[in-house]
Chain A
Amino acid sequence: MARSEIVVLVVEDEPLVRMGIVDYLEDQGFSVLEAAEADEAVEILSGNSAVQILFTDVDMPGTMDGLKLAAAVRKRWPPVKIIVTSGHRKVGLLDLPTDARFLPKPYNPDTVAALFRACEL
């Protein structure tokens, strides 16, 4: 591959949905890591400095929801681009960390891929 792959971390508690987007992103040439909840995501980020984009759902079980995870990631890994997705509620701009983007669920996988590429242009 000519240019280096974009490394993405997908955090989604619904396995089917996670599998859907992970497989699609892999097909699209992304390097994809996956986590089912926030703590697992933090663990992955701590051990892998290559992650460029965090793509996280909001409603998840565990100690943090996606918004808290986004805030924590913005604080600990400032360069990581953040995209938050949710179907449950309207997420306001004020709920998101600076520079984070919001994508409503269900999303078009093409849109997700395009957004990731735009982030890393």
Chain B
Amino acid sequence: MIHRDLPHALTFLHGGGEMGERIRGFDWSTTPLGAPQTWPGSLRTLVQVLLTSRQPMFIAWGPARTMLYNDGYAPMTAHRHPGALGRPFAEVWADIIDAVGPIMDAAYAGTPTYMDDIEFLMERDGKAVETHFSFGYTPVHDESDQVAGMFCTALEITAEVKEAKTSSAELERLRQLLEQAPSFMAVLSGPEHVFEITNGAYLQLIGHRDVLGKPVRAALPEVAGQGFFELLDGVYSSGKAFVGRALPILLQPEPGAAPEKHFVDLIYQPIVSSEGKITGIFAQGHDITDQKLAEMAAAASEARFRNLAQSLPNHVWTALPDGNLNWFNDQTYAYSGIEQGKLDGQNWVDMMHPDDFAGAGATWATALAQGTTYKTEFRLRRGDGIYRWHLSRATPILSSDGAIEYWVGTNTDIEDQKSAGLALRESEVQLKIALGAAQMGVWEGQVADGRFVGLSGDPRALTMLGVEPGDPSGLDSFAKRLNPEDRAMFNAAATKALDSTGDGILDIECRITAQNHGAERWVHARAQAFEAALGKRLIGTVRDITEVKEAEARQEILSAELQHRIKNTLAMVNAIATQTLRGDDIADRRALFSSRLEALANAHDILTAKTWQGAPMRAVIEGALAPHLSGGNLVAVEGPAVELTPKQALSMALAIHELATNAVKYGALSVPGGSLHIDWTANGLDDLGQAQFRFTWRESGGPLVTEPTRKGFGSRLITRVLAGDFSGQVSIDYDPRGIVCTLSSAAEHVSLRASASANTENALH
């Protein structure tokens, strides 16, 4: 077929449906590939293949990796179609270039890649459907053997994937159905009869051994020589089902134990695949040991019956038609610890748990009256006084005229099943609730050759350990999120736990970056190591202790801070003592020392009430003044609300104390009618126009003031310490009318409280 519109030289562009049209209609001279007439032979061949194939394909060609694709591939490009044609691969797939770029790079480096089962959402019949494809990326070499481009073919495998999914879901459904079935069932696969499914009843029959994944000959070695394996081989090779009734089989109740005799009805049904091939065997049946025993008792002589009864693992007994038990096998005596022959009558009744007696008695009476099968559960006392649950069954043996000749009964110990079931259910629920309440997760680490090979756990544990969903081993994301500083400690702890000479306990606290929001959390993991089938395992719990750690850190800061304050205060007391206790008149000085400490303590009280964040200036001043006021003087304190730093508060309190002491002794507070005015402002301006804080102590109405000849501790404290803590200047003016003390500093050194109360005059007296 020759296309009408094309010159003969471009026959390789023929066909190809919609994409054929688009490729032919495309102005290739605008791309690095140039006009189709100039394309090399290898590209021409590929384009021809592309356009004539219905399989999805694309080509990326040249250094720019320019894209060409066919109708089959167009839906895979989704909204990128048809714009993807003639565009560089990296531009078209920019949004997923991290994923597909390396594969493309590999192809250009000469390495083909095959990818199995890539999932796409594709629109089909107007609906978005899940599809699956496998991809092959093949490098294409030019005449000089360099990679000139690459060629990708896709193969849709949606149907196959769906089928595989369905069959595994089917298998799971089957497993669940079978689990609850009263008859025993097992699915064996392949010529070796490997256990694929077993249900509860089957596991009971074989003593709860772990047989899954094992060939039947390895799983149940004691069955060798009893003909069953040969039957399975026959069914597998012939495809013919086998039905057997009342087959005797010796089975171990647990590995290494003596085999016990059972009678089973069973069917081996071949499993045939859709291609007609035999893939396995479905085994199903009933343990009919009890019925078989009754039948044999009826058929056989008493001697033969008793012989058989003694070979069974259960307690076997017989009873007279009136219900009195008259014979027990050796197993019953061994269990009860009672002397041979002494169980008949009352002793047997005494074996039964008193609480179960009434129920069992009624059931037994009904069975006796109606001649029907007896079946009940009760607890029987073992020789050591322990009661164990038993399942008791009995069948009447009829004489030839139809009358009940005697009863044959069995008691089967079901304590383990019963308590295991109950205990498991109860302990699981308890454990779950307890772990939830403790906010603990359970995790398990798998170790092989001394190295961690896997990390798994419940969702809570995985979240805490930073394991990302989709991390197959769990280890990579854990290792990534474990704080690097804790790695060495973790490794050391793990090595110690895995050392078989130690106690096997892993106990660590480490930091893990949380999954969602990069915040780091502290976790405490504790686990026990033990030997497992392959290597070792560590099983334990993990708990988030971030809050505990934060509280510890806060506590540490607090006690360091407290330590600092105490030492600081002691240093101040020390300084006051050094200053005050100079000279000889020690009695006077002791009183002075005490009053200075009192002023300091007072300021401490105010600071402590505000948790040492600061102190209101007014409260500090009033607190320091109070001990010196005796009435008869006018004292005013006014100023805006100012918050002092702890240091400022302490020095202000000490300064006020010194000023007040002086005022009471020599100044305005030493006579009635003297007055004291304290005020401060924070909004004045200094000579340079900067905002200024200004504090003034002004005495008036007292005795005439003269400047002292010697500067004492008080004035030095005021001029040096107060000035230092406010980063300002202090002046004391010995005005004859009254002392004026002024503190001024840049306003930035005091913090005005955002308080509405612009304090007005506040007369204390």
Residues of A bordering B, CB below 8 Å: 14-21, 23-24, 27, 36, 59, 87-89, 105-109
Chain B residue at minimal CB-CB distance from A20: B575
* Other-chain residue from A16, A24, A59, A88 in contact with B717 (beta carbon distance below 8 A): A16
For residue B720, CB closer than 8 A to chain A, the reply is yes
Complexed CA–CA distance, A108 and B571 (Å): 10
Closest Cβ of chain A: how far from B584's Cβ, in Å?
14
Complexed CA–CA distance, A87 and B724 (Å): 21
* Other-chain residue from A15, A16, A106, A109 in contact with B567 (beta carbon distance below 8 A): A106
Chain A residue at minimal CB-CB distance from B650: A16
Closest Cβ of chain B: how far from A56's Cβ, in Å?
14
Complexed CA–CA distance, A106 and B567 (Å): 6
Asked if B564 and A21 make an inter-chain contact with CB atoms under 8 angstroms apart, the answer reads no
Asked if B579 and A23 make an inter-chain contact with CB atoms under 8 angstroms apart, the answer reads yes
Residues of A within 8 A of B563 (CB): 87-88
Asked if A15 and B578 make an inter-chain contact with CB atoms under 8 angstroms apart, the answer reads no
Q: Which residues in chain B, 695-728, are within 8 Å of chain A measured between CB atoms?
A: 716-717, 720-725
Residues of A within 8 A of B720 (CB): 15, 19
* Other-chain residue from B560, B575, B582 in contact with A16 (beta carbon distance below 8 A): B575
Residues of B within 8 A of A107 (CB): 574
Chain B residue at minimal CB-CB distance from A109: B578
Complexed CA–CA distance, A14 and B725 (Å): 8
Asked if B572 and A17 make an inter-chain contact with CB atoms under 8 angstroms apart, the answer reads yes
Residues of B within 8 A of A15 (CB): 651, 720-725
For residue B35, CB closer than 8 A to chain A, the reply is no
Asked if A23 and B578 make an inter-chain contact with CB atoms under 8 angstroms apart, the answer reads yes
Classify the secondary structure of B's interface with A.
helix
Asked if B576 and A16 make an inter-chain contact with CB atoms under 8 angstroms apart, the answer reads yes
Q: What string of 1s and 0s marks CB contacts (under 8 Å) between B632-649 and chain A?
A: 000000000000000100
Q: What string of 1s and 0s marks CB contacts (under 8 Å) between B135-168 and chain A?
A: 0000000000000000000000000000000000
Question: Given the known A-B contacts A59-B564, A88-B563, are A16 and B570 also in contact in the complex, defined by CB atoms under 8 Å?
Answer: no
Complexed CA–CA distance, A81 and B398 (Å): 117
Closest Cβ of chain B: how far from A44's Cβ, in Å?
16
Closest Cβ of chain B: how far from A11's Cβ, in Å?
13
Complexed CA–CA distance, A89 and B559 (Å): 11
Asked if B564 and A16 make an inter-chain contact with CB atoms under 8 angstroms apart, the answer reads no
Chain A residue at minimal CB-CB distance from B573: A106
For residue B417, CB closer than 8 A to chain A, the reply is no
Residues of B within 8 A of A87 (CB): 563-564, 566-568, 570-571
* Other-chain residue from B564, B582, B647, B717 in contact with A19 (beta carbon distance below 8 A): B717
For residue B197, CB closer than 8 A to chain A, the reply is no
Chain B interface extent, by class: 20 to 34
Closest Cβ of chain B: how far from A74's Cβ, in Å?
25
Chain A residue at minimal CB-CB distance from B577: A20
Asked if B579 and A105 make an inter-chain contact with CB atoms under 8 angstroms apart, the answer reads no
Asked if B647 and A14 make an inter-chain contact with CB atoms under 8 angstroms apart, the answer reads yes
Residues of A within 8 A of B654 (CB): 16
Asked if A105 and B567 make an inter-chain contact with CB atoms under 8 angstroms apart, the answer reads yes
Residues of B within 8 A of A88 (CB): 560, 563-564, 567
Residues of A within 8 A of B572 (CB): 14, 16-17
Chain B residue at minimal CB-CB distance from A85: B571
Asked if A20 and B564 make an inter-chain contact with CB atoms under 8 angstroms apart, the answer reads no
Asked if A17 and B567 make an inter-chain contact with CB atoms under 8 angstroms apart, the answer reads no
Question: Given the known A-B contacts A87-B571, A106-B571, are A23 and B717 also in contact in the complex, defined by CB atoms under 8 Å?
Answer: no
Interface centre among A19, A88, A109 (most CB of B within 10 A): A19
Closest Cβ of chain B: how far from A53's Cβ, in Å?
19
Asked if A105 and B725 make an inter-chain contact with CB atoms under 8 angstroms apart, the answer reads no
Asked if B724 and A21 make an inter-chain contact with CB atoms under 8 angstroms apart, the answer reads no
Complexed CA–CA distance, A39 and B574 (Å): 26
Q: Number of contacts between A and B (CB, 8 Å)?
A: 69
Residues of B within 8 A of A24 (CB): 578
Complexed CA–CA distance, A106 and B570 (Å): 6
Question: Given the known A-B contacts A15-B725, A87-B568, are A20 and B578 also in contact in the complex, defined by CB atoms under 8 Å?
Answer: yes
Chain A residue at minimal CB-CB distance from B647: A14
Chain A residue at minimal CB-CB distance from B727: A36
Residues of A within 8 A of B723 (CB): 15
Complexed CA–CA distance, A19 and B651 (Å): 12
Closest Cβ of chain A: how far from B581's Cβ, in Å?
11
Residues of A within 8 A of B566 (CB): 87
Complexed CA–CA distance, A31 and B601 (Å): 33
Closest Cβ of chain B: how far from A87's Cβ, in Å?
3
Residues of A within 8 A of B722 (CB): 15
* Listed A/B pairs (9) with beta-carbon separation below 8 Å: A14-B647, A15-B651, A15-B721, A16-B651, A19-B717, A23-B716, A59-B564, A87-B570, A106-B567
Asked if B582 and A27 make an inter-chain contact with CB atoms under 8 angstroms apart, the answer reads yes
Closest Cβ of chain B: how far from A114's Cβ, in Å?
15
Chain A residue at minimal CB-CB distance from B567: A87
Residues of A within 8 A of B560 (CB): 88-89
Chain A residue at minimal CB-CB distance from B580: A20
Known: A23-B716, A36-B724, A87-B570. 16 other contacts (CB 8 A): A15-B724, A16-B576, A16-B717, A19-B579, A19-B716, A20-B574, A20-B575, A21-B575, A23-B579, A27-B582, A59-B564, A87-B566, A88-B563, A106-B567, A106-B571, A106-B574
Residues of A within 8 A of B651 (CB): 15-16
Asked if A19 and B721 make an inter-chain contact with CB atoms under 8 angstroms apart, the answer reads yes
Chain B residue at minimal CB-CB distance from A12: B571
Chain B residue at minimal CB-CB distance from A24: B578
Question: Given the known A-B contacts A87-B564, A106-B571, are A20 and B725 also in contact in the complex, defined by CB atoms under 8 Å?
Answer: no
Interface centre among A21, A24, A89, A106 (most CB of B within 10 A): A106
Chain A residue at minimal CB-CB distance from B722: A15
Asked if A14 and B568 make an inter-chain contact with CB atoms under 8 angstroms apart, the answer reads yes
Q: What string of 1s and 0s marks CB contacts (under 8 Å) between B59-92 and chain A?
A: 0000000000000000000000000000000000
Closest Cβ of chain A: how far from B714's Cβ, in Å?
12
* Other-chain residue from A14, A20, A59, A89 in contact with B579 (beta carbon distance below 8 A): A20
Complexed CA–CA distance, A105 and B576 (Å): 15
Chain B residue at minimal CB-CB distance from A19: B720
Asked if A17 and B575 make an inter-chain contact with CB atoms under 8 angstroms apart, the answer reads yes
Closest Cβ of chain B: how far from A59's Cβ, in Å?
7
Interface centre among B564, B575, B647, B654 (most CB of A within 10 A): B575
Chain B residue at minimal CB-CB distance from A23: B579
Q: What string of 1s and 0s marks CB contacts (under 8 Å) between B543-585 and chain A?
A: 0000000000000000010011011101111111011001000
Sorted nearest first, the 5 A-B pairs with minimum C-beta distance are A20-B575, A87-B567, A15-B724, A15-B721, A106-B574
Residues of A within 8 A of B568 (CB): 14, 87, 105
Residues of B within 8 A of A16 (CB): 572, 575-576, 650-651, 654, 717, 721
Interface centre among B563, B567, B573, B723 (most CB of A within 10 A): B567
Complexed CA–CA distance, A26 and B572 (Å): 18
Chain B residue at minimal CB-CB distance from A107: B574
Residues of A within 8 A of B573 (CB): 106
